Chains A and B, each alone.
Chain A
Amino acid sequence: MAEILLKVAGLHAWYGESHILHGVDFQVGRGELVTLLGRNGVGKTTTLRSIMGIVEKRTGSIAFAGRETVGQPSDTIARQGLAYCPEERGIFSSLNVEENLLLPPVVKPGGMSVDEIYRLFPNLLERRRSQGTKLSGGEQQMLAIGRILRTGANLLLLDEPTEGLAPVIVQRIGDIISELKDRGFTILLVEQNFHFAARVADRHYVMEDGKVVDMIAAAEVEQNRAKLQAYLGV
């Protein structure tokens, strides 16, 4: 594996009284595309939110590029080069498409230009003056991904980008995620849709009950199909 960009060790997280993560361990190498798989409620989203620093309480270690981030507020974490695309997409209704796209500040040099992003997502250019939440579900997802490409962040945390989208849009999002990997982005992807995840990822971590229980490399997916089906309940 290449240089380790993100290393999570013994991560616990809580929402109020409920203890969601019970010691999560995994790592992501620079330039890798890694997925977190698992059924609903096993803690995949909470893991992403913990990395971003937006859970109420977390303990353990999350090292980004060798620097510990547990204990830092989320704006400080983001400025080190992490960008988050939430499950609910988080498009702002009081901002138009272009304002949504330009909202996340540039944290590092080397991000994509607005023109490049519009080339990747031509629909957004057409609708740049529309209110953000007037877009279709697929367009909103593209906007949510597009706006974090400008910032220069090199680790993208994508939470279920295909949820609730038509197959043709899922296909398109898959192409875009592969293209982003080719451009050198490191991607941590949370997915329920295993067929989608299998198409794009280098490695898969499987989560159960707030822990990572298994790791399966892309090349080993075929041998482990039965085991994966049991994990995911598909």
Chain B
Amino acid sequence: MAQVAIGLVNGAFYAMLSLGLAVIFGMLNVINFTHGAQFMMGAFAAWLLLGHLDVPFWASLILSPLLVGLFGVILERLLLKRIYHLDHLYGFLLTFGLALIIEGLAQWKWGSSGAPYPAPITGGTNLGFMIMPTYRLFVVVAALVVCLATWYGIERTRLGAYLRAATENPTLVRAFGINVPRLITLTYGLGVALAALAGVLAAPIQQVSALMGTNLVLVVFAVVVIGGMGSIMGSIVTGFGLGLIEGLTKVYYPPASNTVIFVVMALVLLVKPAGLFGQKR
């Protein structure tokens, strides 16, 4: 049971990150390989804000995603928007290159050993079957709330309807008088802000380090493939679900815990190439 709870914490990060990727892919048709670096930037922003300006964790939880989201907006305006008409491969190369640059710069400035970030909530909560660090419990709940709020925003609101429609037929949506390029910029900013938020939440659990996003994002890409590219609910359910599967594998067959997600990915691709929640495009 304890592993299930830990799995849920990992799943929370998978869900938030793959959700951001799904939102970005749905709208921009770009697979955002900078996502891991933006997750790291979120954690770093919180760490720097605390170290230099004494900004507490709770303020960083809002401030850091805003700052990194704004960085995403600038990135989209300056670079990404120039490649939408090109093949997927260019989006991959651009965002992957950006990730290498950002992570390289962070490594050069702060080294790769990592710095600790004090947990804002200490102590444990007795769940009956185990005592779980209260902060981790908070992470799971916060991630769930953020994911469901994002889902609601996209599936049930007017702005979300614009987003869904623009994903299908941007030309026509624009011909109705909606500023689609601005919508795309905002979507990218939102996806990046989600990654940064996950980064802030991860800071007290992991070390804040330049490469903290690199390994995580590999798993997250597997999650996105399993859930189905661009599917919102798919990302959330698969993110939490795979965290659980990974946790359970640690109990029953620990050597496989690092690979189980990729095994699941291979199986899903064999049976449902579009992913569990994906639609053929």
Contacts and interface: CB of A to CB of B under 8 A. Distances in A.
Interface of A: 52-54, 73-75, 77-79, 83-84, 86, 90, 92-95, 99, 102-105, 107, 148, 151
A52 B171 CA distance: 10
Contact of A79 (B158, B173, B177): B177
B177 A104 contact: yes
Given A54-B171, A102-B158, A83 B165 contact: no
A75 B170 CA distance: 11
Interface residues of B, number: 18
21 contacts: A52-B175, A54-B174, A74-B171, A75-B179, A78-B174, A79-B177, A84-B172, A90-B172, A92-B164, A92-B168, A92-B169, A95-B164, A102-B161, A103-B161, A103-B162, A104-B177, A105-B176, A105-B177, A105-B178, A148-B176, A151-B177
Contacts of B179: 75
B114 to A, nearest CB: 42
B175 A74 contact: yes
Interface in B163-203: 164-165, 167-169, 171-180
7 closest residue pairs by CB, A with B: A78-B177, A104-B176, A94-B164, A74-B175, A90-B172, A79-B177, A92-B165
B227 to A, nearest CB: 17
Contact of A75 (B165, B169, B180): B180
Contacts of B173: 103
Given A75-B180, A102-B158, A102-B161, A54 B167 contact: no
A83 B168 contact: no
A75 B174 contact: yes
A160 to B, nearest CB: 16
A53 B176 contact: no
A107 B178 CA distance: 10
Contacts of A53: 175
Contacts of A52: 175
Dominant SS among interface residues on chain B = helix
A90 B169 CA distance: 8
A74 B175 CA distance: 5
B177 A94 contact: no
B168 A78 contact: no
Nearest to A78: B177
A99 B177 contact: no
A57 to B, nearest CB: 14
B164 A75 contact: no
A105 to B, nearest CB: 6
A99 B162 CA distance: 9
Given A75-B180, A78-B175, A94-B165, 13 more contacts: A74-B171, A75-B174, A75-B178, A75-B179, A78-B176, A78-B177, A93-B168, A102-B158, A103-B161, A103-B176, A105-B178, A151-B176, A151-B177
A95 B167 CA distance: 11
A84 B175 contact: yes
B165 A54 contact: no
Contacts of B177: 75, 78-79, 104-105, 107, 151
B279 to A, nearest CB: 9
Contacts of A78: 174-177
Given A54-B171, A102-B158, A95 B176 contact: no
B234 to A, nearest CB: 14
A27 to B, nearest CB: 22
Contacts of B176: 75, 78, 83-84, 103-105, 148, 151
